[in-house]
Each structure stands twice: as structure tokens, then as C-alpha cells.
Amino acid sequence: MRKKKHISAVDIRSFSAGPNFCFNVLLAIFALSCIVPFFFIIILSLTNETDITKYGYQFWPKHWTLASYQYLSSMGTQVLRSLGVTVFVTVVGTIMNSLFSSTYAYAISRRDFAYARFFTIFALISMLFAPGMVPTYLVVTQMLGLRDNVWALILPMCFGVYNVLIMRTYFKTSIPESILESARIDGATELKIFRSIVVPLAIPGIATISLFTCLGYWNDWFNAMLYTTNENVMPLQYLLVRIQNNIQMLTQQMQQGGSTIAAGQQVPTEGMRFAIVVVATLPIALTYPFFQKYFVKGMTIGGVKG
């Protein structure tokens, strides 16, 4: 008789060690490819303007300077005001979007809701056939009268169909129906069930759509360009866009030999571009690690079938 070859746990570990090491190396390279460019931008924002002109972009410049950030800080009052507007819009908009999207998704995910199919199709149609810029502009400015109002930056994005579809899938696959039935037998209302049972179980999904929404509100400047001219309600991103346009104007005047050459030479045009990227990106990048564990779990919604 032929003897069966015995495979030990040590053999299995040694067999899988090679592929695991390769995957780890690939993931490390990918992570560095994502992190290094951002650190490079920070270094360039701290590089002397003359060094950039002479030697180009370097990881370790010959002279360091804070001139780009000093130029931004010279607009201190406006920058702080715009930062406050952006934080308010991002926090309030994210809360409203998560609340509306979660409640809508919970309703259409219930099997006993008679109009679930109708509202699901209604949401899909509104996503596939968007009204466009002109009707939206008329509704916001003429019907709602939100011109130069901070709510014009919140309401157009306070409901997301994509977030509804994510949460609908999460509710259908991750919330056991038996728990909800037990709560109904005990006399709990639908609102109490949603607040006390569904929301605690759906934190990964809610955190996922909240991160998407937060990024959308933080990076939004187009709505501000459409609906606001008042500097008191101007968000940070749109302010930075205006600063960037002013830098381009100064650069063009310097090249054409205009009357503002002396003023333009004091502005670190290249370093300012990178400083603007850092100011616009760093705050939201620092908040991402706090959502990472929920984000990873929420992105696997529907990926495992029990």
C-alpha cells in the first residue's frame, strides 16, 4: 500500500509565506505611492521660490521658507471666516445627508413596506436623469431664495441616492429581521426600532456614507461660485480658488511687464499653489484615520453572503 504523505502545519505556513511576503511588498509600494506625493507637495510648499525656479522640484531643497503660508496668513480674517463656513457646511450637511439617506434607505429596505418598489425606482430615476444646472439654479435662487445664503451650500447636496443604495443594501444584508420582529412584538414603534436597534447596528454603513458626504462638502466650491458673492458665506475651497486665480493673474502681469511686477515678485507663485493644496487637503486627511475601520467594513457591504 502507498503511504499517504502527511502535510504538517509548518509546511502550510512555509508554503504561504512566499505569496504573503510578495503581497505585503506590493501593498507597501502602493501605500508609499499614495503617501509620498502628498509629503512632496508639503516640501514644495516650504521651498524657496528661487530654488524652484533654478533647480526645479526637489525632495530636499537648499533653502526652506514659510513665505507661501505667510501670504495665506496675511488674509487671516477671511481665511478663518471661510474655514468656519466650510466646517459648518461640512458638519451640518453631513449630518443631514446621513439622516435623510439612512431613513429613506431603511424604509425601502423593509419587506412589509407597500411602496418600497415605487420609492426605489423613484430614487434611481432621480439619479439617472438629473435635472441639470439651470433648473437647479432657478430652484435654489428663485423659488427658495437662497442667494448669498449658507443654506445654498448645504441643501443641494443634503440627499444622496448613491448613499441610499449603499444603506439599503446594508440594511437588507446586515440587520437580522428576527431582531426587528422581536422589538415589534414587545411593542416598540418603528421610530424607536430605528433609533435604538437599527442605528447602533448600522454604524459602519453610516460612517461610510458620512465619509463620502464629508469629502463632497469639504471639496465643494462649485456651488459657492454659483450661489454666493458675499464673502461672509464664502467657503474655504472657493476662497482658495480665487487666490489661485489671483496668482495666475499676477504671473501673467509679470510676464507681460505690467505695472504690478514689484507686487507680483513678492508673491511665491509656485509655492502658493502647493500651499493651497496642503491647506485644502490636510484637515480632511487627518480625519480619515478615525473613520478607517468603519470605512473598510462598510465598503464590504453585500460582499459576503451568509
Considering the domain boundaries, does residue 306 fall inside one?
no
With cut-offs at 50, 70 and 90, classify the pLDDT of residue 13.
low
* pLDDT exceeds 50 at position 20: yes
Greater model confidence, 60 or 222: 222
- In this prediction, residues 58-87 reach a mean pLDDT of 79
Arithmetic mean of pLDDT, 194-201: 86
Contact, 295 vs 207, CB < 8 A?
yes
Q: What is the CATH number of the domain that holds 178?
A: 1.10.3720.10
Percent of the chain with pLDDT over 70: 81
The one-letter amino acid code at 37 reads: P
Which residue did the predictor score with more confidence, 31 or 119? 119
Cell numbers for 4, please give them: 499517504
pLDDT tens, position by position, 21-34: 788 888 888 888 87
Query: Does residue 222 belong to any structural domain of this protein?
Result: yes
Does the pLDDT at position 93 exceed 90? Answer: yes
Mean pLDDT computed over 153-171: 88
Domain total of the chain: 1
Q: How confident is the model at residue 253 (pLDDT cuts 50, 70, 90)?
A: low
Whether 66 is in a domain gets the answer no
Q: Give the global pTM.
A: 0.74
Q: Which helix (H) or strand (E) holds 259?
A: none
Does residue 1 sit within a domain?
no
What pLDDT, on the 0 to 100 scale, is given for residue 7? 52
Q: Give me the amino acid identity at 142.
A: Q
Taking all residues of the chain, what is their mean pLDDT, rounded to a whole number? Answer: 78
Side-chain-side CA neighbours of 27 within 13 Å: the count stands at 6
Residue-number span of the structural domain to which 135 is assigned: 75-299
Q: Are 150 and 230 in contact (CB under 8 A)?
A: no
What per-residue confidence (pLDDT) applies to 260?
43
pLDDT of residue 257: 52
Q: What is the pLDDT of residue 82?
A: 85
- pLDDT for 306: 42
Query: For residue 31, is it within any domain?
Result: no
Residue 14 lies in a domain: no
Residue 30, in any domain of the structure: no
What lies within 8 Å, CB to CB, of 275 at 6+ separation is: 45, 68, 69, 71, 72
| Position 201 pLDDT exceeds 80 | yes
In sequence order, the β-bridge partners of residue 241 are none
**Is residue 212 one of the residues assigned to a domain?**
yes
Q: Average pLDDT in the 181-203 region? A: 85
Q: Distance (Å, rounded) from C-alpha 145 to C-alpha 139?
A: 8
Answer yes or no: is pLDDT of 261 > 70. no
